Amino acid sequence: MKKILILLGVSLFTLNLSFAQTAKQNVERDFINYSKLISENKIDEALEYANPKLFEIFSKEDTKNVMEAAFNMPNIEYKISSPIIKEISDVKRIENIDYIKIKTISPIEMKFTNIGLNDKNNLQMILNSFEAKFGKGNVIYGFFKISANKEIIASSTDDKNNWKFITVDNPKMKPLLEKIIPSEILEQ
């Protein structure tokens, strides 16, 4: 009888571990797809991976316009590489929604054109601005190479199969994010 209980306990533990692993594999799969679409500037397709609660605050069209404007600035060339996933948290379920926090490093390259970067003051001002936002040592001048540490909150409403994302990278956006993401997830 003892052997049966031990075997049952081990089986349940293994089964629970495999479900957790599958959730992390699914969130990683969807995040890689989402990131690839963004790096390819396929905004409409990328927005299919955005947390739908975002569109209750900003319309999908407005969100798309802001993203397109950022990628199509006339004096800036962007090159976005695939993010490096540093950490994927365990799943936390709140009000029938599963959440996972992802910590990444997003390599971004930016080149400014026709804005007077020959002036050392302008160059230093831009460099200081980037270092303030992304941290000293995370910005290299030339084609500005930036390693942006980001937190992304993934959410799933279909039993951890498909995931939607929202980036948490601006402290000024916290009041907005609290309308979309439970505070216990944001503060995790």
CA distance 62 to 47: 11
Quick check: 71 and 78 in contact, CB under 8 A? yes
- Can you tell me the distance from the alpha carbon of 59 to that of 65, in angstroms, rounded to the nearest whole number? 10
Cα separation of 176 and 178, whole Å? 5
**Any idea what DSSP says for residue 72?**
T
Q: Which CATH number goes with the domain that contains 124?
A: 3.10.450.100
Total number of domains in the chain: 1
Look at residue 62 in the predicted model and tell me its pLDDT: 93
Indicate the pTM of the whole model: 0.75
Q: What is the pLDDT of residue 95?
A: 93
Structure-token match 């316009």, residue found: 65
pLDDT of residue 21: 62
Whole-number pLDDT of residue 2: 54
- Do the Cβ atoms of 138 and 131 come closer than 8 Å? yes
For 188, the 3-state DSSP assignment is coil
Q: Which range of residues forms the domain containing residue 96?
A: 2-186
Residue 16's pLDDT is 44
Q: In the prediction, which pLDDT does 119 show? A: 61
Task: Look at residue 8 in the predicted model and tell me its pLDDT.
Answer: 38
List average pLDDT for each run of 10 residues in the chain, which is 188 residues long.
44 41 89 92 94 92 90 80 92 94 89 64 73 74 79 93 90 85 87
Alpha helices per DSSP H over 40-150: 43-46, 60-71, 120-134
